[in-house]
Structure 1
Amino acid sequence: MSATLRQLVASLACTAALPPVQAQERVEVFLLGTQHVRGTGTATVYHVDGMERINAALSAGLPPDPAHAEAIAKRRFEALTEADRQAIGTSAQGLAAAMQYRLTKVPAIVFDGAAVVYGVGDVNQARAIYQTWLARRGR
């Protein structure tokens, strides 16, 4: 088995119950804040650890006194910018989508809600793997 075929078999997981590929390709990228994926372009990018990172920032250095800690956390939360609030919303959407797709690791690049390529750090490379898989299935 060639290395390319092994990579295709190892990194591509599909679900048969999803609708056929749409004319306009939809790409979603799931990764951690410490990871980088090239070529994201118009893809929707989700940092699945965003909620944890925001929570850690809001909780950092809080005093042991619960009342005092609550007051500080409330002020920090109220001071969040609109960009911070959008990041929280996007992270929550990403977590929900990752659960819906049953993703098992990141980075994960999902095409058309029908196929996922794991462990590839470039959308164009992942797209080539996806298109090879489609061609082999006669699509």
Structure 2
Amino acid sequence: MTAPHSFVSQRLRAVGTALLLWSALFASSQAATATEVLVITDSAHPVQVAAGARVIELDLPARIEAELAAGLPTDPARASVIVQQRLREGGQDLQRRIGRAYQDVADAWGLGIAKVPAVVVDRRYVVYGESDVARATARIETYRRTQP
């Protein structure tokens, strides 16, 4: 006959094992579906973006700079005053937009993107030249399922 504390200990161990297995299964299913999708492109290469994808436009910093420089006089001093005024009027939203645009370019550069459009999943898999993001991610998912 087993002692009562031994029985309780075995039950607690069984419940603990079941919880551990459940949490491991839950974590692995979350990892399989929690993917980051980056779309790297520019204004010359339009893409059909899927929901949840982060779009990086490599020429966005230049387009923002062109907005700021539009119609500036040739006199550098006057041009500087106008640009400073435009920056002030744009406020924090414009500053965030500029910062994000340059950070996006740095992120794409850090990934080693060679051409656009590029669809990158989990910063590990890339499909080049596909303008339909859903089709590109489907190709990546098919590849991932076939790899051990």
What TM-score does the superposition give when structure 1 sets the normalisation length? 0.75
State the alpha-carbon separation in 1 of the partners of residues 33 and 142 from structure 2.
Answer: 17
Identical-residue share of aligned pairs (%): 34
State the alpha-carbon separation in 2 of the partners of residues 99 and 22 from structure 1.
Answer: 26
Task: State the structure with more CA Rg.
Answer: 2
Deviations 1:89-134 (A, max 9, x none): 2211210111111101111111001011111111210012112222
Partner of 2:135: 125
Cα contact 1:51–1:91 (8 A) shared by 2: yes
Cα contact 2:87–2:94 (8 A) shared by 1: no
Structure 2 stretches lacking a partner, 5+ long: 1-30
State the alpha-carbon separation in 2 of the partners of residues 133 and 105 from structure 1.
Answer: 21
The equivalent position to 2:116 in structure 1, one of 90, 103, 106, is 106
State yes or no: 1:27 paired with 2:42.
Answer: no
What TM-score does the superposition give when structure 2 sets the normalisation length? 0.71
- Cα pair distance change 1:127/1:104, threshold 3 Å: same
Deviation for aligned residue 1:32? 1.1
Aligned to 1:134, the other structure's residue is in SS state helix
State the alpha-carbon separation in 2 of the partners of residues 85 and 43 from structure 1.
Answer: 23
State the alpha-carbon separation in 2 of the partners of residues 70 and 36 from structure 1.
Answer: 33
Higher helix share: 2
Deviation for aligned residue 1:82? 4.5
Higher mean C-alpha displacement, 110-119 vs 59-68: 59-68
Aligned residue pairs total: 118
Letter in 1 for 2:61: M
Letter in 2 for 1:128: A
Cα contact 2:127–2:136 (8 A) shared by 1: yes
Letter in 2 for 1:74: Q
Partner of 2:75: 65
The equivalent position to 2:47 in structure 1, one of 37, 43, 47, is 37
